[in-house]
Amino acid sequence: MPYGIQWMRRYTRNAMNELVTVYGSIGTSPKHEMEPTAIEIFLRTILHALPLGVCWQQCREGGDGWANESFARLAGQPGKTFAGIDALGEHLSPEDRTVYTAALTQLRTRQTNALSLELRCQSGVEDDWRELTMQAFLAADGELSALVLTLADISERKQHEKDMQRAIESAGSLNQQIEIAIDRAQQSAVEANVASAAIRQLAVLDELTGLYNRRGYNTLNPDVIQTVKDSEVRGYLCYFDLDRFKQINDELGHAKGDEALAEFSATLRANFPENALLVRLGGDEFVAMGLEHHPGEVEETLRSLENALTLRNSNGSAEFELEASAGVAFFDKTGPHSIEDLTTVADAELYKNKEKRRHARSSSRRTDTR
């Protein structure tokens, strides 16, 4: 995520080669500040352009946070930097501060994971209403990891509600005023849905593992296939699932199951190239997709992955063994190019390898009992 204790102005070029301004984050800078990646700059630029205010704060490792320009503007403090999520309360009307503080307490004590409030900001405008959504994200150990707030202007909607109430109370122009109020409310709902859809389009990462989720996979795998079509190298699609994952969940609990998923994801990252598309499809199913730049590269990577898991299991300190079966489908510019065909091949290979591993374990247990 972005770093820095002040708004940091950076310049980069967008897809149309136009110079755009990108702002950095708020919070405490880490000891070793890192330049943001291209995807971080791209997502940050999109978030700054949204009419919906977005504020994020980490609850661990220094409590770094970030807010887009719309969040500051909607809070009635354009151009200012927020020292953290708690600072929003300073800009709310006095009667709403207690409600906001209580909501933060509920999230931080994990009484709930999500809340929605209608609050008023001190922006100098009467009845300046905002809709605040608050979402808590938990780490693999069940502790609070981050809080995300979104802020939307609902002043017009509130005014429409007042208009509708006045229309109901006014017998002389009842029907006409109700129709006008409904039309305006519907228009506001459409605009709010457009902003929410833009945020959902950015939700391409799996919360637990940090890998791409199924939505990200469906969005990005056509790019990998097209790159292979345009090159002389072949592509690969590796399917994985964890061996005896249900046993970990049943015997040790879902917290340990989540720990196994997060640890396997980290092992995938450590062994596959940085530009590989790494995905958690759901449950204990994972995908690695990319280009093989030299013959045997994928086989070397899978051996390295297997060795890393074997070494991890051999030290005897873990509560569970972490093992995975894999199936690989290769393709080049001649095909196959259908993701369904590639998935069928990779899944079949995974099933065969899983059966081999199951028989090998059974044989090993029979040998040990003799």
CATH of the domain at 140: 3.30.450.20
Residue 57 located in a structural domain: yes
Residue 145 and residue 227 share a domain: no
Q: Read off the pLDDT of residues 263-317 as tens digits, 9 standing for 90 and up.
A: 999 999 999 999 999 999 999 999 999 999 999 999 999 999 999 999 999 987 8
Is the full-model pTM beyond 0.85?
no
Q: What are phi and psi of 189, to 5 degrees?
A: -65, -40
Last residue of a domain, one of 153, 171, 203: 153
350 pLDDT more than 90: yes
Edge to edge, the sheet with strand 277-282 lists 277-282, 285-292, 234-242, 324-331
Give the separation between CA 208 and CA 348, rounded to whole angstroms. 27
pLDDT band at residue 34, thresholds of 50, 70 and 90?
Answer: low
Count of structural domains, the chain: 2
Residue 329 and residue 251 share a domain: yes
% residues pLDDT > 90 (the chain) = 42
**Token digits of residue 322:** 């972490």
| Residue in 247, 234, 243, 277 with CA at minimum distance from that of residue 353 | 243
Give me the long-range contacts of 20-24 (CB less than 8 A, separation at least 24). 20/45, 22/48, 23/48, 23/68, 23/69
Identify the CATH number of the domain in which residue 285 sits: 3.30.70.270
Residue 354 and residue 220 share a domain: yes
Residue 344 and residue 259 share a domain: yes
Range of the domain at 41: 9-153
Residue 284 located in a structural domain: yes
**Token digits of residue 116:** 């929605």
Residue 251 located in a structural domain: yes
Residue 353 and residue 274 share a domain: yes
Average pLDDT over residues 24-39: 50
Residue 232 and residue 134 share a domain: no
Integer angstrom CA distances of residue 22 from 10, 52, 71: 5, 17, 15
**Token digits of residue 267:** 């092992």
Average pLDDT over residues 143-147: 87
In our burial notation (b when 16+ CB lie closer than 10 A, e otherwise), range 304-319 reads: ebeebbeebeeeeeee
Residue 268 and residue 142 share a domain: no
Residue 233 and residue 137 share a domain: no
Last residue of a domain, one of 130, 153, 176: 153
Q: What are phi and psi of 285, to 5 degrees?
A: -100, 130
Instruction: State the average pLDDT for the chain.
Output: 81
Residue 63 located in a structural domain: yes
Last residue of a domain, one of 153, 168, 186: 153
pLDDT band at residue 186, thresholds of 50, 70 and 90?
Answer: confident
H or E stretch covering 227:
helix 214-229
| Residue in 193, 162, 192 with CA at minimum distance from that of residue 178 | 162
Among the ranges given (130-139, 172-181, 226-235, 246-255), the one the predictor scored with the smallest mean pLDDT: 172-181
Residue 241 and residue 103 share a domain: no
Residue 322 and residue 242 share a domain: yes
Confirm if 151 and 53 have CB atoms less than 8 A apart. Answer: yes
H or E stretch covering 147:
strand 144-153
pLDDT band at residue 330, thresholds of 50, 70 and 90?
Answer: very high
Q: Read off the pLDDT of residues 57-66 as tens digits, 9 standing for 90 and up.
A: 888 766 777 7
pLDDT band at residue 367, thresholds of 50, 70 and 90?
Answer: low
Which residues have C-beta within 8 Å of that of residue 112, sequence separation ≥ 6? 106, 136
Give the separation between CA 207 and CA 209, rounded to whole angstroms. 6
172 pLDDT more than 80: no
Residue 223 and residue 119 share a domain: no
Residue 333 located in a structural domain: yes
What string of DSSP letters covers 312-334? HHHTS-SSS---EEEEEEEEBTT
Please tell me the predicted confidence (pLDDT) of residue 7.
37
Residue 229 and residue 82 share a domain: no
Residue 163 located in a structural domain: no
Residue 249 located in a structural domain: yes
Average pLDDT over residues 19-31: 41
H or E stretch covering 150:
strand 144-153
Residue 68 located in a structural domain: yes
